[in-house]
Each structure stands twice: as C-alpha cells, then as structure tokens.
Amino acid sequence: MSTVPLSIRPGEARAQRRARPVRRWWRDAAGLAAWTIVLFVTALWVAGHGVQQLNSVASGLTSAGRLTGLLSAALLLLQVLLMARIPWVERSYGQDALARRHRLTGFTSFVLLCLHIVLISLGYAATDHTGLIAEVWDLVTTYPGMLLATAGTAALVLVVVTSVRAARRRLRYESWHLLHLYAYLGVGLVLPHQLWTGADFTASAAATMFWWTAYATAATAVLVFRVVLPLTCSLRHRLVVDRVVREGNGVVSVHLRGRWLDRLPVVAGQFFVWRFRHGTGWTRGKPFSLSAAPDGHRLRITARDLGPGSARLANLPVGTRVWFEGPYGTVTGAVRTSRKITMFASGIGITPLRALLEELPYEPGEAVLFYRFSSPAQPLFHHELEHLARTRGVRIHYLPGHRARDRVSWLPAGYAPVPDRTVLRHFVPDIAEHDVYVCGPTAWASAAIECASQCGVARQRIHFEHFAW
C-alpha cells in the first residue's frame, strides 16, 4: 500500500500508527488453514476405508454419512472461529466479510449435518434390516451421547431458522443475538457424541488428537477474544457515561470518559459492541460506531432510535458503567491509498464518516462529502460539518429528500432525470483519483458503490463495511 504524503498533525500521526492494517498474508494464512482442515478431515475418512465401503448400499450410505458428519463438524468449528473476533482475522477480512463467510459456512454445515443424520440412519437401518423410525429411535436412546446430540441439533436448528434473512428482519438485533448464542450450546452438546462413538474421531491417535485440538482451539478462541479480552479492557479503562445529548429526530449522542484512553488502540471509522450497565437487558451488546475521532480522553457514539437497544441510550444516567468489545472495523485511514477522498453517507451512516473527516489528514479541497438525509430538518451534525468545511476545507454536498421509487439510486428523487454517474462526475470531475468511503443502508450503499465503479474508481479504493448480524 502506498503512503500518502501529507502534512500530518500530531494527533493524526498517532491515529495513523494505530490504524496500520494487518499484513495481507494473515488473510491468506487464515484461508489456507480453513482449506487444510477440510482436506485433512476428508483424508481421515479416506484413511478409514471410506472409499472402499462405497461398494454396497448399506455400507455406502453409512460411509457417506460419516463423511458428511466429518465435514459438518469441521465447518461448524470454522464457523465458531470466524465469529470469535480474533483480532488478526477480523482486521484482515472486516466484520461484514467475516459475517458472509460465517453465514455460508453455517448453512453448509447445517445441510451436511442433516445429510449426516439421514444417511447414517438409512445405512444403519439397511445393515440391521429394521425400519427407519425404529432405527432412529434405537440410535437416539441407546448410543452414548446421542440424546445430547439430539438436543444440540435442536439448538442448531433454532439458530439456522432465525438466521434466515426473512426471520432476521422480524427480530430485533438484541433478540437475534441472544438466540444466536444457542449455536455455542449446540456445538457443546454435539461434542460428546462425536468423541465417544464417532469411528473417525477415535480410529487413530492422530485423529483423536486433531479433533480434541480443534475443539479446544475453538473454545479457547471464544473464551479469550469474546470474554476475557473484553472484560480485561473494560476493567482497565473503566468507561462511564459522561453526558447524553439529544441531537433531535430520535438521535442521541453518548459521551464517554475513562482511564488511559490514549492507550486504547482505536481510530476513527471503527465500532465497538457496547453494554451499558443500566436497566434490564444490559447484558445484550449493541454495535455503535464512534461519531467523533478519539482524542485519548473521550469517546462518543451516536445512534438513532431504531429499537430498545438504541432507544434506552437517551435515558442513561451520568456515571453509568460501560462494558465493551472492540474496537472492530477496517474502514479506517489504514486502507487509504491516495491523497483525495470522497465520502457517501446516508442518514445515521454519517457517524463513522464524520469521525474520519475529523481525523484523516488532507489539504483543503481534497475531501468531498455527499450527505443524503430524508428529514426536512437540519442534517445530523450540521454545525460540526460546517466547522470542518470552514477550518479544513471539506466540500460538502447536502442531498435532502426521499429516494426515487422507480430506480435504485444514491441520489434523492429530485435528481431522477440525470444519471447518477453524471452527477458524481459533475461535482467531482477527478473522482477516479479518489479513495471512496461509503456508509448507509445496504441498497443505498450498493448504488453509491456501483456509481463510483462506473466513474472509474478502482475496487481497492472503495471502502465500506456493514455491521455483522
């Protein structure tokens, strides 16, 4: 990645040092490790005479069931590791990319699990010359660990059903997150069955060592990065609510103070998962981006009233203790490759971009902001943005009004007669030389990204990230 030769203030230099990206080989190593695990468990099946057993219907069904079970278990562990928030992996991929892989891996693992159950049951029934229902009952009630495995499968079914897009839309984030924790329960309940009775788990010392190591690694990663590390950071920095400011239109900003915040490795553009120790349901975390550049003394988050998790922020008493996980997010100054930047923000999506405009180094006229909002009132952070325009030379284009109903566009309906790329090139003729940052609703962000691409912006210069849920 090339450097950006700009005059940098001391605070900006500190932010750039903290925002150093993880080296590319971390991403390659993580992908290679995942494929190695899948190939290794397949090799275990081959070594256990899985191919030779395909020569008859009964043994073939059982052998295929063993393979799908092995692959399902491997992918289930990879799914847990993907969302264990391992810092090097998270910074290599970004939370939205990890979430997509997590979803794909999870659904694939679930399909393989269902195939495993069906194939094993059919294979055992054919071998024992019994009915399918009788064979399933015998497996569940007499084989060690199978009752636990059945309960674990039920927990995984609940997670999968609530992860379907249509179901996620009907659930609040807090409810979805709570239900999603049952995945850990499902993995834990399935484990005894695999290690006690699975032939491919106990066939050799190498296989046994591999599976115990794999499960121990996944459990340790979750414990360390989802529990121990956040707890340690929360106790160390002792964040509390300093003040709460109602910004209008259902938006509230929470200012936080704590100890040694200059040592917290956070930069503008990142987010935390927050838990405010006040009222019921405080244990369920909610992701919010920083809406102001961290200065080593204070942090600020801003949220719109979109549900109980964000609505309760307005009623937080001063002094409320705060637990947090993070920082997360890769849309920071570290990904920047050029002197000039253009930012697209919609609604509450202005929060991380406003922080970036405050922190990033640039000369007057080298930063452009397109800010779309529907409310007829003044846009969020209007005075702060105008201050950035006066003091740092940010070129701001406000885009009030609702989006057009008959086309997908990042522009308000009033621009409908003109193609999006024509408008963008009019305001930013040299857009192809800019780094582009995008934050807003998924469909709107996709339209902005597509427009930037059509105007010649290279894909590696377009930076965006969605919250992972």
Rounded average pLDDT over 247-254: 86
The set of residues, in sequence order, having a beta carbon less than 8 Å from that of 169 and lying 6+ positions away, is: none
Handedness of CA 392, 397, 398, 404 (dihedral sign): negative
- What does the pLDDT look like over 423-439, one tens digit per residue? 999 999 999 999 999 99
357-361, 378-382, 397-401, 452-456: which range is least confident on average?
A: 378-382
Q: What angle do CA 36, 46, 61 make, to 5 degrees?
A: 115
Q: Are 375 and 247 in contact (CB under 8 A)?
A: no
Q: Which amino acid type is present at position 448?
A: A
pLDDT of residue 2: 39
Q: What is the mean pLDDT of residues 391-408?
A: 87
Nearest 5°: phi and psi at 21? Answer: -75, 155
Task: Name the CATH code of domain 22-233 (choices 3.90.470, 2.20.25, 1.20.120, 3.40.50).
Answer: 1.20.120
pLDDT range class, residue 391, cuts 50, 70, 90: very high
pLDDT tens for residues 214-248? 888 988 998 999 899 999 999 999 999 999 998 87
Which pLDDT belongs to residue 21? 54
Calculate mean pLDDT across residues 413-418: 84
Q: Does residue 19 have a pLDDT over 80?
A: no
Q: Give residue 252's pLDDT.
A: 92
The pTM of the full predicted model, rounded to 2 decimals, is: 0.81
Q: Give mean pLDDT, residues 245-253.
A: 86
What mean pLDDT value characterizes the chain? 83
In sequence order, the β-bridge partners of residue 289 are 271
Report whether pLDDT(382) > 80.
yes
Instruction: Give tens-digit pLDDT for 95-122.
Output: 777 878 888 888 898 899 889 888 988 9
Q: Give the span between the Cα atoms of 189 and 145, in whole angstroms.
A: 8
Burial 172-190 (b: 16+ CB within 10 A, else e): ebbbbbebbebbbbbbebb
Tell me the mean pLDDT in the region 371-382.
83
Q: Which pLDDT band holds residue 4 (cuts at 50, 70, 90)?
A: very low
In which band, very low, low, confident or very high, does the pLDDT at 3 lie, cut at 50, 70 and 90?
A: very low
* CA separation for the pair 278, 92 (Å, rounded): 34
Query: What pLDDT score was predicted for residue 130?
Result: 83
The angle formed by the CA atoms of residues 202, 203 and 204, to the nearest 5 degrees, is 95
Give per-residue burial for 382-391: e unless 16+ CB within 10 Å, then b.
Answer: eeebeebbee
Most confident of 12-26, 280-294, 304-318: 280-294
Altogether, the residues listed in the chain come to a count of 469
Q: Which fold has domain 333-464?
A: Rossmann fold (3.40.50)
Q: Which of 133-137, 199-203, 265-269 has the lowest mean pLDDT?
A: 199-203
Tell me how far apart the alpha carbons of residues 51 and 59 are, in angstroms, rounded to a whole number.
10
Burial of 141 (0-12, 13-18, 19+ CB in 10 A): exposed
Enumerate the domain spans of the chain: 22-233, 238-328, 333-464
For domain 238-328, the question of CATH label 2.40.30.10 is answered with yes
pLDDT at 268: 93
42 burial type by CB count under 10 A (0-12 exposed, 13-18 middle, 19+ buried): middle
What secondary structure does DSSP assign to 409-465, as a single string? -SSBGGGTTS-HHHHHHHH-TTGGGEEEEEES-HHHHHHHHHHHHHTT--GGGEEE-
